[in-house]
A and B are shown apart, each in its own frame.
Chain A
Amino acid sequence: MKLISLEIKPKINSGWGSPKLLFGEEITQLHANNGSGKTPLIQSIVFCLGYPVEFREDIVRHCLSANLTLTIGGDSYTFTRLYESKFDITIRKNDSQFNRFYSESDFSKFLLPLLGYSQERLITNGNTPTLPYASTLLPIFYLDQDRGYSEYYFPPSSSFIKNQFSEMVRVAAGFAPLQSYDRKEKTIEIKERVKYLDQSVVESRRQLSRLRDDLATPNKSISDIEHEVENLKNNLNELKNTKDIKSEALNSFDLLIYNLKSQHREACSQERELKSKISSSNSIKSEIESEIETLNLNEESLSAFTTLSEICSSPNCGMFFASSESYGKSLLYLRDQIKDLAISTATNQRRLDIVSAEKAILEQSIQTLSNERGEAVAKEGIDLFIKAISNISSKIFDLELEKSKHLRLDEQEKNHLNLKLERDRNVSLEESFLVTRDPSIEILNFRLNLSKEMVKWLDILRSVTISRDIKIDSDFKPILGIEKLNVFKGSSKVRAVLAYHAALFSILTAKVSNGFRVLVFDTPRQQELHNEDLDDYMKELKKLATNHNVQIIFSTTSYHYELSKGDIEWTPTFTNFQQPMYLG
């Protein structure tokens, strides 16, 4: 998603409007005095995206509609929302298709899937089903001028979904919901799906190993094969154009023999490798055996100690008891390991046999070709020529065949990897439906990353009073040291909230390319932050915008951010008031 422009349309008589304001590729700054209309513009952006905003009376009286143009996946959309009605949004796709929404739920049902968010039914406080709303999700990406800086998540109306904040972060990050309304039905469905994926993974791995076995044993890379084919083709051309038939034909023999020899060399090196594996597993075996021997020595020493009655005459003497028990166990388990090793040695032995056989075949072909070449030296003319050509073409044919096998293998490897990822996702989902559950891998990883990222942003904001020992609890709320947000006041609180939103935004937009990709600040509390701290924060956000291809929008009065490439500043253009205004 990329925001393109915002335009406020005036009412027909004596209305206020704005020119078409273009968003910066990366940063959009609204820099103007207090009271020049920054907030209504910022609010209009989220207003168009379904966020409920109560505008000042004069805005409602003078302005007709807010028009937000943005692109989602290559298509252009214009969202038009009327100021006067309670909820009335028209969406125009590529200037042709119309959709008009009169309720927030219909609008959210349209917008959220379009942005790539999943639509799982959640549970409200009254235990009824509900879908996530755009307005419940947006507070993650939009900080309201007053209340946005006092909480990590401040919904426009009081939370009505159970664990609303946690659920919204889960929606934004693409995790399974904490409490899904359709859990029972979903559980069965997911179980089936995981079973199917497990089977597919095994199938695909078998396919993979079949394809691998099918390849000629000295394994060449595709580029090697291409190189060889190229050489042979050149050779063929030379043969065609040559006048000295005999020497060229002999050359071609040489080339073929050379190729075979290099294959032979590779087979030899593979053989060597396998032999070394087998010998290393033998040496492991002997290492384990020597370990066992040492244990036996210990055992014997122990009995020597116990037999000497001068030390202790009791038959149930507890001397070395604990260690003697552990000797026995180690002995037992080590013997088990030897069995295990035997299996892998057998596998390697099988492969060694295959390679050796291949090597023998190669040696034979080299011998045959060399003999033919020897005879050819004595022969004259056309026979030799035909023989050489047919040799080369059949070789080229073989190589092309091998290349196609390689390509199939590559394809299969890619499929296999995708299947495994897909399975991982689904297993996580399955686990999330279990009643007693360990934390999910993805969510834990997300939380650990979030806490690391938050430390980074707190450092950028130079907040000295907040502990860097940050834990993100299972509802995605940070615990700073041992303190929660509500014990902080003033600038520390603002810094914590700013750091949290930047950290969350940076992680949410790191890997995926869908969803809301814009972070909107309505006048970050400047009186409570030093300008240089805010400046460092903005510069870091600029880097984030460049790296993650996202947009940052913020308004400011005293602090001014130095624009660079990809940034735009909106200044008020209507001068026939007491001070320049954005709307007029």
Chain B
Amino acid sequence: MNLREVLEKASSESLYIQAENIPIARRDAFQNESLFHLPLIAMAILMLAKGRTKPKAEEIGQLIGECFELALAGFKGSSQGLGWSANLRIRTVKALTFLEVSNFITKDLSTGKLEATETGKKLVDKVINSDTQLTLSLLKIKRAYRNICKERNIELELQ
């Protein structure tokens, strides 16, 4: 079979070369490293704990992940894709521990919910009133958290 025949055969049999879509970890891309530092995570936790709906301690890793994903443009990954989880979860825990040890947050022992202390609230309020990009991002995180909570409640009602 010469080339011409191959080409004819290929067109008549509608062959095409399938480029397979194999997911490989993209090592060339930046990871989410910069987002995963403790001060920002701690600030985000404090923001959630200051609001009216208090987050549960055990969900905080997932919640922070989802809020970051919804609110921060630089965040790569998804709530299903678990690329960020190990790092983020461990650091979220560290941030939370820091907040509790330094008395910015208390944990309600009966409900497992986190609540900002007066000092914690004061700190967040100061940031919120500073009118910077950080304020904007924290407000977006707050909005994302609001949406997550409301939607979860509605889903529970529907079930």
Contact = CB atoms under 8 A, between A and B. Distances in A.
Contacts of B60: 333, 336
B14 A445 contact: no
A291 B128 contact: no
Interface string A425-447: 00100000000001111001101
A336 to B, nearest CB: 3
Residue of B21, B96, B131, B146 ringed by the most chain A CB atoms within 10 A: B131
Contact of B154 (A198, A258, A287, A330): A198
Nearest to B152: A202
For chain A, give the interface size range. 35 or more
A254 B13 contact: yes
Contacts of A198: 147, 150-151, 154
A148 B91 CA distance: 54
B61 interface: yes
A160 B18 CA distance: 71
Nearest to B142: A438
Given A255-B14, A262-B18, A330 B94 contact: yes
Interface string B75-104: 000001111011001100110111011000
Contacts, number: 128
Contacts of A234: 14
Contacts of A325: 101
Interface of chain A, main secondary structure: helix
Interface string A260-292: 001001100100110011001101100110010
Interface stretch (A109-117, A337-345, A371-379, A532-540): A337-345
Contacts of B83: 280
Interface string B117-154: 00000000000110111011001101100110011001
Contacts of A254: 13
Interface in A451-501: 471
B85 A281 contact: yes
A448 interface: yes
Interface residues of B, number: 48
Interface in B1-58: 12-15, 18, 20-23, 57-58
Nearest to A262: B18
B57 A441 contact: no
A288 B21 contact: no
B131 A283 contact: no
Interface string A324-340: 01100110111011011
A334 B60 CA distance: 10
Contact of B23 (A251, A273, A288): A273
B61 A337 contact: yes
Interface in A519-546: none
Contact of A288 (B58, B81, B86): B86
Contacts of A344: 62, 80, 82
A32 interface: no
A339 B59 CA distance: 9
A277 B83 CA distance: 9
A224 to B, nearest CB: 10
Given A254-B13, A326-B100, 19 more contacts: A206-B158, A234-B14, A265-B18, A269-B20, A280-B82, A283-B86, A284-B82, A284-B85, A284-B86, A287-B86, A333-B60, A340-B58, A340-B59, A340-B62, A347-B80, A439-B128, A441-B136, A441-B139, A448-B136
20 contacts: A198-B147, A202-B155, A206-B158, A272-B23, A277-B80, A280-B82, A284-B86, A288-B89, A326-B100, A330-B94, A332-B57, A333-B58, A336-B61, A337-B93, A344-B82, A424-B143, A439-B139, A440-B139, A444-B136, A448-B132
